[in-house]
Amino acid sequence: MLKHQTVGQVVREAAKAHPATEAYVYPEHGIRKTYKEFDQETDHLAKAFMGMGIEKGEHVAIWSDNKREWLQSQFATGKMGAVLVTVNTNYQENELKYLLQQSDATTLILGEEFKGTSYISIIQALCPELEHSEKGELVSDVLPHLKRVIVMSEKDYPGIFTWSEFEAFARGVSDDQLNSRMKALHFDDVINIQYTSGTTGFPKGVMLTHMNIVNNGQIIGDFMNLTHEDRLCIPVPFFHCFGCVLGTMAAVTHSTTMVIVEQFDPKKVLQAVQDEKCTGLHGVPTMFIAELNHPDYESFDTTTLRTGIMAGSPCPIEVMKKVIHDMGASEITICYGQTESSPVITQTRSDDAIEKRVATVGKPHPHVEVKIIDPVTMEEVPAGVPGELCARGYLIMKGYYRNEEATHAAIDIEGWLHTGDIAVMDEDGYIAITGRIKDMIIRGGENIYPREIEEFLYQHPSILDVQIVGVPDPKYGEELMAWVILKDGEMLDAEALREYCKGKISYHKIPRYIEFVDSYPMTASGKIQKYLLREMSLDKVEAEAK
């Protein structure tokens, strides 16, 4: 059964069922709070938002790493009905300006800085009017909707509320007023706007409802067999669906303890798993790779791990096997989806055979319809034939904020979301993602899926990570280029790697170009930006041709 609940009701339910269970732990700061305390904290913050004059449906942007204030704000806005607009931690001035303008945000909550970037300096540059504004009464030429800026600290900046000044607004709002506001919310209201990573064009604001994210979180946690006795380590960023749906929402819907790492660091994650006896761990493949290859990995005890999620980009089979066998996360699951589907469409089950868990992204969730179509004819294809994956159900976004054209391009007249991903369904209903439609490489009339070649090359003992992209070629239309990261201390050259491929994969699948690098261009949520790799590949090939 789907839940017809708001985000706020989920917190209330968890606090009522398991008041003494720890809701969250911040090991780096020695902070731990029970679900009863978390419910009280989020009530207090919900009243503060109301006391500031923020109405139901008003847009509140939040910009920081995984701070406690972020977590509290997610569920406090869920109680009083403001729409939380999540901001990528890597954003710079122009990107922030675009998001705040496009989202019509009236309020911005921000940390002071992130990895050397001063968020305060950026907002001051965007809104010089802050210098002479009364707090809460900003009038900005560039951001006409923005009225209030709140910082997650007690340092005083002109025109910006400190956190305690913000919290003080709660005093003017009664319990009855908050309860009335909570009753006025509907499960089908938009409660969250997440901006797509913008790998092509400008980012689009995905409008998600209580219904979308509460149920997606519930089902994700069900598939992980989460209970109030589990402790889930969350090092993935909150601003992304991975953090705030697969992470916090999946946990709260099951009264599970959230063990939170503010910024990903492999050693801090391993320390948290050991010290807090975590039973679950989330991460994108690059995070698990970093943890498994940390020089001190062997000194940490991860035997309490049982479950978790590896998602965000295709999961290398060899890495998955190590997470199961070396880390001990025997029930770890793979999830697949996108922000527009809030986000999970398919997931492996904890009792699936390892072959299914390493070679597929599982089966569709309950209450979700999936079909695979020929992207040219739009006709459904039979099992075993690649095509575009489409999904329909409760999980599909309301649309892109103020962008009807893009909404209609993504969701057809029958309500199917067209994902743009190439997938194959087997006879048992398990789905394998073989790439993005735009990532498919056509060499001499042959369709080549980068994932297949990447999986093969992962088996080379010297290779830590590998990405395959296509580059233009006058003879074949496209050729393959491999970007390879080697394990520490390993040596390998292009010719030796090609020799390794001969006789094992088809000649046309052996990369013509091979580059060795130390890292890939990444989004803040840990996704590899293949479009940037394609641009880099083109530059390399053109430079060599001169």
What are the tens digits of pLDDT across the range 406-456?
A: 999 999 999 999 999 999 999 999 999 887 777 878 787 676 778 889 989
- pLDDT higher than threshold 80 for residue 39: yes
Domains of the chain plus CATH, in order, are: 36-195 (3.40.50.12780), 441-545 (3.30.300.30)
What are the tens digits of pLDDT across the range 310-362?
A: 987 777 788 889 999 999 999 999 999 999 999 999 999 999 988 898 889 99
Residue 277 backbone dihedrals phi, psi, to 5 degrees: 50, 55
Distance CA 323, CA 310 (A): 9
Question: And the tokens for 381?
Answer: 């294809």
What are the tens digits of pLDDT across the range 152-169?
A: 999 999 999 999 999 999
Q: How confident is the model at residue 201 (pLDDT cuts 50, 70, 90)?
A: low
What are the tens digits of pLDDT across the range 287-303?
A: 999 999 999 999 999 99
Lowest mean pLDDT of 9-13, 34-38, 199-203, 244-248, name the range.
Answer: 199-203
**Sign of the C-alpha dihedral, residues 69, 75, 76, 78?**
positive
SS3 of 48, please? helix
Distance CA 287, CA 110 (A): 25
pTM: 0.86
Q: What is the mean pLDDT of the chain?
A: 94
Q: If you average pLDDT over residues 254-275, what whole number do you get?
A: 98
CB contact at 8 A, 538 and 530 = no
Q: Which residue has the higher pLDDT, 212 or 359?
A: 212
Distance CA 306, CA 318 (A): 18
Distance CA 137, CA 148 (A): 7
Angular region, 392: left φ>0, alpha ψ -120 to 50, beta rest: beta
Lowest mean pLDDT of 45-54, 420-429, 534-543, name the range.
Answer: 534-543
Strands, E assignment, 17-155: 22-26, 31-34, 59-63, 83-86, 107-110, 113-114, 117-118, 148-151
Interstrand relation of 205-209 and 399-400 (parallel, antiparallel or unpaired): antiparallel
Distance CA 313, CA 284 (A): 7
The letter for the amino acid at 515 is E
Residue 401 backbone dihedrals phi, psi, to 5 degrees: -65, 125
Distances (CA, A) of 314 to 450, 454, 455, 488: 11, 10, 10, 23
What are the tens digits of pLDDT across the range 88-138?
A: 898 888 889 999 999 999 999 999 999 999 999 999 999 999 999 999 999
Q: How confident is the model at residue 199 (pLDDT cuts 50, 70, 90)?
A: very low
CB contact at 8 A, 100 and 253 = no
Question: And the tokens for 237?
Answer: 């960023």
Distance CA 212, CA 394 (A): 6
Lowest mean pLDDT of 39-43, 256-260, 477-481, name the range.
Answer: 477-481
CB contact at 8 A, 217 and 246 = yes
End-to-end CA separation in angstroms for the chain: 63
